[in-house]
Amino acid sequence: FQGERRRGKSSLTKHDKRKQEERGGVFPHVMICLWILLSLSLQSTTMASRCEEARETLDKNWVGSSTIPAFGLYPHQWSWDTAFITYGHATYNTTKAQIELESLFEGQWENGLLPHIVFNPNVAPSAYFPGSDYWLSSTMSNDLAPLGVETSGIVNPPVHVSAVLNLVRRDPSSPQTASFLHRIYPKLSRWMGYLLNERDPDGNSLVYIRHPWESGMDNAPQWDAVLDNITVPSGSIPPYHRTDLNHSNPKDRPSNWTYDRFVFLMICARNRSYSEAAISASDGTGCPFIVEDPLFNSILVQAAKDMAELALLLKPANPTESKHWMEVASRVAKALESLWSDELRMLASRDMRTKKPLLSRVIAGFAPLLIRQPFPGGPPSYYDNLLRSLQSPATFWSQYGVPTLAIDDPRFNRRLYWRGPAWYNMDWLFLRGLQTVGSNATDTVAEGLLNRMESMVDESGMREYWDPLNGTAHGTNSFSWTAALHLDVFCDQNVN
């Protein structure tokens, strides 16, 4: 407007010029204000639209007593997906969130193991690989697995305790909440007890994972050194058909070479009747993948902290158990320090077979940042180093989420599953941890994560994962945990 006025000003009188100057001092400011209001209105409309899309995604993926991650690619109930999904349901239907968790725990094993998949009997076996006919948990686990429910024979990180605490905090005084906690707490305790008692053979307070899938980061580069040393003898695994390639671009999925080793490790555990003692045996008869993972163990620290709080929310409260769980959290948090790598300036997984660190600059190296304050025993000495490393644009501080592998690593792949792309759940874990600290440094990082998470969804909706450099979405559509965690962060109205 000012440009148009300047071009015609020679025809104006002095009086007109003075009036114009008076108006000109106000008019641009009015236009700026109007532009800001319009922008905010559009932003609010976009946000409301994305919130509605997120709720529709969860409702569409609900299959009666649980929410599948996505139709086609993931047709069953996944363990840590379920925990994340309840954060979304909790924003508008806590009853559904409770049903979701209790449905998962119907698959819990006698020894406390919480399987990473509970299979839907209404889904054809041919719809997903590896299906229940490959795990054979109900017939080859020496009666550890339940008979009425088919499950896998491995686990996911124990994010379930935090999910339960989120639900209880929303309405701690209601009879429904008290009843739910009374039912679920003993199951959580058995789940935690299994990890602490059966997954720590050397007694160093760090639990092991025995399959890459247990980390939740299936084909992440830190597993390469272990998988490279696994020879799959001809005929040692039955023929199989990868159904994942029917629903996703093969360029987005792990290679066949990697899948052969995934299957080999499955069968290794199955052939040992899913006995942790046999699987982790160090006499050469155990399975080759026994790894201490910083992500899994950091989530275990948070889970133990949350068990301590849940024990006090029981009716009656149990301060003795609360103290026990805080001691567990402190022990595991202290043990995490042994995974620090001066070379990487972050934590590294450790191969229990070779006793050597798996040196890869991956997102799991930042895992202690997800632990919510107060940090058991006080913040570790490496905490500030992790914050600084995370904010390096050359490695991890990309425009669209935190990449799963450092950008300058030669193996970085912008679209290949856990070998580069950004995942919404990882940013969310760090966000929720950092938001509890309250320092200028952590607030800055948390704000940056919020902006990146908003940009990821704004670009393409509820997708599975993203190219961290340009925001291109990959994987499946209408992905449940993205929808759920978006609701938790951006759309929570606490409507039951």
Which amino acids are annotated catalytic? 218, 464
The kind and range of the H/E element at 96 are: helix 94-105
Q: What is the dihedral of CA 257, 136, 212, 421, to 10 degrees?
A: 80
Give the count of alpha carbons within 13 A of 465, CB side only.
24
Instruction: With CA atoms as reference, report the closest residue to 103 among 88, 85, 126.
Output: 85
Nearest-angstrom CA–CA distance, 276 and 287: 10
Helices (H) and strands (E) in the chain, counts: 17, 10
> Residues, the chain, total?
496
Query: What contacts 346, CB < 8 A, 6 or more positions away?
Result: 340, 361, 365, 366, 382, 385, 386, 389
Distances (CA, A) of 292 to 212, 336, 352: 11, 10, 7
- Rounded to 5 degrees, what angle do the CA atoms 426, 333, 280 make? 85
Tokens representing residue 126 in the block: 């041919």
Nearest-angstrom CA–CA distance, 139 and 148: 11
Nearest-angstrom CA–CA distance, 432 and 425: 11
**Any idea which residue has 């509890």 for tokens?**
436
Q: How many CB atoms lie within 10 A of CB 440?
A: 7
Would you say 107 and 115 are in contact if contact means Cβ atoms under 8 Å apart? yes
Nearest-angstrom CA–CA distance, 213 and 262: 8
Instruction: With CA atoms as reference, report the closest residue to 150 among 116, 198, 200.
Output: 116
Q: Is 290 helix (H, G, I), strand (E, B) or coil?
A: coil
The 3-class SS string of 340-382 reads EECCCCEECEEECCCCEEECCCEHHHHHHHHCCCCCCCCCCCC
Nearest-angstrom CA–CA distance, 79 and 61: 15
